Amino acid sequence: MGLLVVYISTHYVQHNEALQHQFFLKWYQGYGAWDGEWYMRIAEKGYTGLKSTAFFPIYPLMIRMVHSVSGFSYFASAFLVSNISFMFALVFLYRVVKDLFGALISRRTLLFLVVFPSAMFYNVTYTESITLLTTVLFFYLLQKHKWYPAMFAGFIATGVHDLGVVLAIPAFLYLLKFRYQFSKKIFWIRFFSMSIIGLSLLFYMTFLYFNFGSFMTFVKAQALWDRIPVIPVFNVFVNLAKLALKYYTWDYRFMTAINGLCTLLFVLLGLLMFTKKKDTLPLDMKLFFALTLFFSITSGAFGNMDTWVTFLRSASLASYARFMGVIFPGFIMMARLINGRVWIYGTMLAFLIIKLIMLGMFVAGYSVV
């Protein structure tokens, strides 16, 4: 169905001028639009400018590796890495949830995840599928008491996105929970081995220092993408309210509404997660959810400076729905809270329609962020 939407959008929908047509020699290469072009360019040519350093290195390295071994194009290599990673992520997520809540909730979790509006990013040349795989695999390995493989999964997750360092919190909780099963020596060895999770970030920062003169180059690069700090949740309401007060293009209105509503949905799920009596979702997953959600929505893009009142500034909700798509405990909560065929199928249908619209917009050159 996704391929059909891409074909129709690239052949029969008027393209946005923002689309770089020279890249898309074939219709299916619409899957490689926007950030995907940056990742493929880095895979081919390396980091050639300050702006490119906002994109972390593990995904481009994987693209380059597949390209070198297989001889496939950079686009085909990126597409394969993303989609194969997504398939494995679904396998391990099913196992994680099944061990906790049984097969029914596990299947329902997968269904909500694959039809979620921003789930389209799992199939394009973005990092969401790798992020999902490595974080889910981290929790799966901890469930199976495979400590060092879990730390390596965290290492890869951080090399894909800096928020991977949040995985150190569930790792520490695991150590505390099972501390009496370890000797003091093993406990401290494992405690210090948690630093493996952050090593990929340290390696990247060292690379940036020697090539761009600063360990924090990737942070400076955020300014070139117009990212600014914002007040979480408040920023969502401000942007939704602003749609009624000012003129915006239809695609901006649509994406602001989707980004805002998806974020509010996850905020609500988080509140229920922590306030619902006798909720059995493990504490490590709850904290992973809360921290990742919080850090994901404390920055915004394309700050509209004429609406400031000093500390009550706002910026667009760009990428918020995409960020929600990889915070997998939210989908577990959905699967446990949404009951009854009408609600389940109605929610899934609404999600799927929005997802397909977003995919069509994405490959036609409209800003789906």
Walk along the chain (369 residues) and give the pLDDT tens digit of each residue: 544 444 445 544 555 555 544 445 455 566 777 788 889 999 999 998 888 998 999 999 999 999 999 989 899 999 999 999 999 999 999 999 999 999 999 999 999 999 999 998 998 889 999 999 999 999 999 999 999 999 999 999 999 998 899 999 999 999 999 988 888 999 999 999 999 999 999 999 999 999 998 888 888 887 777 677 788 888 899 888 888 877 778 888 888 999 999 999 999 999 999 888 777 899 999 999 999 999 999 887 765 444 444 334 567 888 899 999 999 999 999 999 999 999 999 999 999 999 988 888 877 777 777
Coil vs helix vs strand at 299:
strand
Q: Please report the pLDDT score of residue 8 as a whole number.
A: 46
Rounded to whole angstroms, how far apart are CA atoms 91 and 350? 24
Q: Please name the helix (run of DSSP H) or strand (run of DSSP E) that holds residue 194, with its range, or none.
A: none
Q: Please report the pLDDT score of residue 26 as a whole number.
A: 54
Rounded to whole angstroms, how far apart are CA atoms 279 and 260? 26
Rounded to whole angstroms, how far apart are CA atoms 49 and 266? 35
DSSP 191: H
Q: Which pTM was predicted? A: 0.90
Q: How many other C-beta atoms lie within 10 A of the C-beta of residue 184?
A: 8
Phi-psi region of 146 (alpha: psi -120 to 50; beta: other; left: phi over 0): beta
CA 272 from chain center: how many Å? 22
Q: Please report the pLDDT score of residue 358 as a whole number.
A: 87
Going by C-beta distance under 8 Å and a sequence separation of 6 or more, which residues neighbour residue 313?
228, 230, 231, 303, 305, 307
Q: Give the amino acid at 290.
A: A
Q: What is the per-residue burial (b if ≥16 Cβ within 10 Å, else e) of 29-41? A: bbbbbbbbbbbbb
Rounded to whole angstroms, how far apart are CA atoms 150 and 359? 33
Long-range contacts of 356-360 (CB under 8 A, 24+ apart): 356/1, 356/2, 356/5, 356/120, 357/254, 358/117, 358/118, 358/120, 358/255, 358/258, 359/2, 359/5, 359/6, 359/9, 359/120, 360/5, 360/6, 360/8, 360/9, 360/13
**Do residues 50 and 224 make contact, with C-beta atoms less than 8 angstroms apart?**
yes
Q: Please report the pLDDT score of residue 314 as a whole number.
A: 62
Rounded to whole angstroms, how far apart are CA atoms 133 and 122? 10
Q: Please report the pLDDT score of residue 300 as a whole number.
A: 75
Q: What is the per-residue burial (b if ≥16 Cβ within 10 Å, else e) of 95-119? A: ebbeebbeeebbebbbbbbbbbbbb
Q: Please report the pLDDT score of residue 312 as a whole number.
A: 45
Count of residues for the chain?
369
Q: What is the per-residue burial (b if ≥16 Cβ within 10 Å, else e) of 213-241? A: eeeebbeebeeeeebeebbbeebbebbbe
